[in-house]
C-alpha cells in the first residue's frame, strides 16, 4: 500500500521477533475480551422487578412513546411471553425524584391491571426497563443529529490538540507550520484508529516530524511523548475535579485517582529538581526500575521542557478545553442512547475509562476500553448494553474522523516509513483517543 507506512514495517528482525508474538498476544486478548463482552451484555431488552416477578428476568422489546413519555415493554421469551408492561412516567415536581409513577400490567388473555408504585418500587424500577444492545444501537442510528454534533466536537478537539502539539514543538525550537502539524496529527489518528495493530499513531507522527527537522530530531520526537503525557494528565485532572463535586458518590474512584495524581506531582518535583535528582541518584534508580526504557524517555522529555514554562502551562490549559469537547461529545451520544445520567457523571467517570483504554494492552485499546466503560459507568446505574453502545459509538466517531488522515495520505503522498526508522525511534505508543 502507498503511504507513510511501508509493507514491511510490521515485520521484525531477530531482535523484533518477540514483538510479533507480543502483537499476536495483544490481538488475541482483544478478540477474547470482545467475545466475552458480547456474552455478558444482553442483546434484548429486559426488566427485573422483584416485587412482581421475583428473581425472574423478563426478556423482550421496549418501545418509547415520544409524545407521552410512556414506555411499553413486551415480553418475547419464556412463560410470560406476550405480557405487556406500560411504564407511566411521573409528572410535575415528582419527576425530579422518580422516573415512574405506575405500571400497567397486561398479561396475555387477561385485562390490564394498573399498579401504583410505592417509594421502594420506584427506586427498584428507576433504571427499568433496561435496554439491550439492539435497542441502544437502534436509538443511535435514529439520531443522526447527535452523531453530527459528536463528529464536529471531536474534530474541533482533535485540531485543538494538534495546535497544542505545535506549541510544544516551538517550545524546543522546532518551527513546524500549523497546517503541517494538523496533517501529521490526522495521519497519527488514522494509524491509531484504522490500523491500530500495525504501528502506533504517535510513532508515525514522531518519525514524520523528525524527517521534517532532522537537525532537531531528538526534540521533535520527544515532543510527541510530552504531548501525550500532558493530554493524559489533563484528562486525569478533569476527572479529579469533577469527582470532587460528587459529594462522595464515587469515593473509591476519587481516592485512587487522587493518589495517582499525587504520585505524578511528587515525581515531577523530583525530576525537575537538580538537588533531589542528585540526592536520590535518579538516573541509577530509573535504570533499576521496571519499564526503565520508558521511564528514561519520560525523564529526557521532562528535562527538555524544564525551561518551557508558559508553553507547558498553555498546553495543560488547552487540554482541559480538548477534554471538555470530547466529554461533551459523550454526553450527546449518551443522550441519543437513552442514558439517564448527569453531565457531572460523564466528566467524572468517562475519563477513567479513557485513561484505562490508553494503556497499550490491546491494539487501539480494543476490548479494554469497552470493558472499562461498563465497569466505570456501572456505579452511576448505566446498563451494560448502554455502556458498551456508548464506547462503540465513540469509536465509530473516532474511526470516521480518522479517515481524514487517510484522505490526506492519498491526496498528498508521504515517503514511506521504513522498518529502520521505526526501530530507531524512541517512542512506540498507541494513542486510541485524542488527548
What is the rounded CA–CA span in Å between residue 84 and residue 74? 5
Last residue of a domain, one of 108, 130, 152: 130
* Residue 307 domain-assigned (yes or no): yes
State whether 158 and 304 are in the same domain.
yes
β-bridge partners, 71? 64, 87
State whether 286 and 378 are in the same domain.
yes
Task: Identify whether the C-beta of residue 417 lies closer than 8 Å to the C-beta of residue 207.
Answer: yes
* Residue 137 domain-assigned (yes or no): no
State whether 289 and 191 are in the same domain.
yes
* CA 363 centroid distance within chain: 14
In this prediction, residue 401 carries a pLDDT of 93
Give the number of C-alpha atoms closer than 13 A to the C-alpha of residue 297, restricted to the C-beta side.
18
β-bridge partners, 300? none
Q: Which three cell numbers stand for residue 237?
A: 485532572
State whether 275 and 405 are in the same domain.
yes
Strands 71-75 and 57-64: antiparallel
State whether 67 and 112 are in the same domain.
yes
Last residue of a domain, one of 130, 157, 188: 130
Q: How many residues does the chain have?
A: 435
* Residue 262 domain-assigned (yes or no): yes
What are the two backbone dihedrals, phi and then psi, of residue 64, each rounded to the nearest 5 degrees?
-105, 130
* Residue 136 domain-assigned (yes or no): no
Last residue of a domain, one of 83, 108, 130: 130
In this prediction, residue 8 carries a pLDDT of 40
State whether 289 and 329 are in the same domain.
yes
What are the two backbone dihedrals, phi and then psi, of residue 60, each rounded to the nearest 5 degrees?
-175, -145
State whether 198 and 314 are in the same domain.
yes
In this prediction, residue 347 carries a pLDDT of 96
* Residue 8 domain-assigned (yes or no): no
State whether 229 and 303 are in the same domain.
yes
State whether 390 and 303 are in the same domain.
yes
* CA 419 centroid distance within chain: 30
What is the rounded CA–CA span in Å between residue 276 and residue 118? 63
State whether 65 and 156 are in the same domain.
no
Please give the chain's pLDDT, 435 residues, in tens.
444 444 344 344 444 444 567 777 878 888 888 888 888 888 888 888 887 888 888 888 888 776 666 788 998 888 888 888 888 888 765 445 557 888 888 887 788 889 888 878 887 787 788 888 888 888 888 889 999 999 999 999 999 999 999 999 988 888 889 999 999 999 988 888 766 544 467 888 888 888 888 888 888 888 888 888 889 889 999 999 999 999 889 988 899 898 888 888 887 777 777 777 777 777 777 777 666 676 677 677 777 777 777 888 899 999 999 999 999 999 999 999 988 899 999 999 999 999 988 887 887 788 888 999 999 999 998 989 999 999 999 999 999 999 998 888 888 776 666 555 555 555 444 555 556
**Structural domain range at position 291:** 17-36+142-424
State whether 105 and 211 are in the same domain.
no
State whether 241 and 92 are in the same domain.
no
323 sits in which H/E element: helix 309-337
In this prediction, residue 296 carries a pLDDT of 73
* Residue 113 domain-assigned (yes or no): yes
The number of distinct structural domains making up the chain is 2
* Residue 2 domain-assigned (yes or no): no
* Residue 429 domain-assigned (yes or no): no
Predicted TM-score (pTM) above 0.85 = no
Amino acid at each position: 500500500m502507498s503511504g507513510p507506512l511501508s509493507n514491511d514495517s510490521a515485520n521484525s528482525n531477530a531482535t523484533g521477533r518477540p514483538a510479533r508474538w507480543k502483537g499476536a498476544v495483544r490481538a488475541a486478548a482483544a478478540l477474547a475480551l470482545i467475545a466475552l463482552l458480547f456474552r455478558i451484555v444482553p442483546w434484548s431488552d429486559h426488566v427485573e422487578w422483584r416485587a412482581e416477578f421475583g428473581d425472574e428476568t423478563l426478556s423482550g422489546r421496549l418501545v418509547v412513546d415520544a409524545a407521552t413519555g410512556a414506555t411499553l415493554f413486551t415480553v418475547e421469551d419464556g412463560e410470560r411471553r406476550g405480557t405487556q408492561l406500560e411504564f407511566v412516567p411521573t409528572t410535575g415536581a415528582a419527576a425530579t425524584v422518580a422516573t415512574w409513577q405506575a405500571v400497567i400490567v397486561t398479561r396475555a388473555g387477561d385485562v390490564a391491571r394498573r399498579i401504583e408504585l410505592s417509594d421502594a418500587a420506584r427506586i427498584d424500577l428507576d433504571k427499568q426497563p433496561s435496554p439491550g444492545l439492539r435497542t441502544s444501537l437502534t436509538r443511535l442510528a435514529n439520531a443522526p443529529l447527535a452523531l453530527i454534533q459528536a463528529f464536529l466536537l471531536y474534530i474541533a478537539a482533535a485540531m485543538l490538540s494538534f495546535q497544542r502539539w505545535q506549541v510544544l514543538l516551538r517550545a524546543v525550537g522546532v518551527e513546524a507550520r500549523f497546517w503541517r502539524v494538523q496533517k501529521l496529527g490526522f495521519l497519527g489518528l488514522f494509524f491509531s484508529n484504522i490500523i491500530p495493530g500495525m504501528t502506533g499513531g504517535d510513532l508515525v507522527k514522531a518519525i514524520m516530524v523528525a524527517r521534517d527537522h532532522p537537525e532537531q530530531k531528538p526534540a521533535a520526537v520527544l515532543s510527541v511523548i510530552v504531548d501525550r503525557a500532558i493530554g493524559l494528565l489533563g484528562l486525569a485532572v478533569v476527572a479529579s475535579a469533577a469527582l470532587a463535586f460528587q459529594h462522595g458518590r464515587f469515593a473509591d474512584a476519587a481516592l485512587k485517582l487522587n493518589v495517582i495524581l499525587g504520585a505524578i506531582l511528587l515525581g515531577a518535583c523530583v525530576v525537575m529538581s537538580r538537588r533531589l535528582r542528585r540526592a536520590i541518584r535518579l538516573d541509577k534508580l530509573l535504570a533499576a526500575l521496571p519499564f526503565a526504557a520508558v521511564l528514561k524517555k519520560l525523564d529526557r522529555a521532562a528535562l527538555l521542557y524544564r525551561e518551557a514554562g508558559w508553553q507547558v502551562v498553555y498546553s495543560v490549559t488547552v487540554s482541559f478545553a480538548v477534554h471538555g469537547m470530547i466529554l461533551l461529545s459523550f454526553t450527546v451520544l449518551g443522550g441519543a442512547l437513552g442514558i439517564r445520567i448527569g453531565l457531572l457523571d460523564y466528566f467524572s467517570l468517562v475519563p477513567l475509562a479513557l485513561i484505562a483504554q490508553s494503556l497499550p494492552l490491546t491494539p487501539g485499546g480494543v476490548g479494554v476500553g469497552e470493558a472499562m466503560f461498563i465497569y466505570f459507568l456501572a456505579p452511576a446505574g448505566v446498563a451494560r448494553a448502554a455502556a458498551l453502545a456508548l464506547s462503540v459509538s465513540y469509536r465509530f466517531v473516532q474511526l470516521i474522523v480518522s479517515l481524514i488522515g487517510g484522505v490526506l495520505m492519498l491526496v498528498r503522498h508521504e515517503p514511506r516509513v521504513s522498518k529502520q526508522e521505526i526501530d530507531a525511534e524512541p517512542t512506540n505508543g498507541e494513542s486510541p483517543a485524542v488527548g
